[in-house]
Amino acid sequence: MVDLKGMFTNENVGGLDLLIRAFLGTFALTTLAAGILNDSKLKWVLAIIGFAGVFTSLTRHCTPYNLLGINTAEKNESICQITEEAENEE
């Protein structure tokens, strides 16, 4: 059975990937706000790119990455070790 909660909540975006998403999303939304584009079809494409970039960088989650098994987020080893030690003491 598929774990839907895990599929939509796991952090799988990090590092350079996170920075690129945040930068491109912010750039796309700034371009829209400045009114640089006149073509309405390109405005919609730019809005989708901007929203997706900012949203995935804020939530650190990308559903297509999850479906493809890609994970660019780094795990913090010290937190994992502390959690394991606490579980072993109980």
10-residue mean pLDDT profile of the chain (90 residues): values are 77 92 95 89 92 94 89 70 59
**What's the CA gap between 26 and 78, in Å, rounded?**
32
Provide the token pair at 61. Answer: 């989650």
Question: pTM surpassing 0.75?
Answer: no
**Helix segments in 35-59, DSSP class H:** 40-59
The CA distances from residue 48 to 36, 41, 63, in Å, are 16, 11, 15
pLDDT in the model for residue 38: 85
